Structure 1
């Protein structure tokens, strides 16, 4: 079996839970009380997504950038 390197986004919500998203799959997200728990959970979700997805059909990950926008306060 070949290992895949997939991009993930890790955030923390207002309740202190870690939210992990894999942007290559629509609706692919999970959470946990710790980063380690959230990462284990997202691995399970990604494995389910991979069972339903042809890898050639995935969007190719390009990267993240910060975008500065003026804010009216």
Structure 2
């Protein structure tokens, strides 16, 4: 009877043995990313992108308001000095 080997474990074991010998092709047998992991990564990066956009817009709007408030305060101070 022939020995049954796990089809995923064999390339990984071969990659590990090649890495021990210093081969540059050690990672050629690594398995493909799964659909679940790809979906989770896409959802995470999409959520982070939206959160980053919201934070940027919040800071941008508040910076404009702060600049307008400072300009108004300076104008009022200049009028009071004259």
TM-score when scaled to structure 1? 0.28
Structure with more of its chain in strand, by fraction: 1
Q: For CA contacts below 8 A with separation 6 or more, give which structure has more relative contact order.
A: 1
* Larger helix percent: 2
TM-score (norm 2): 0.26
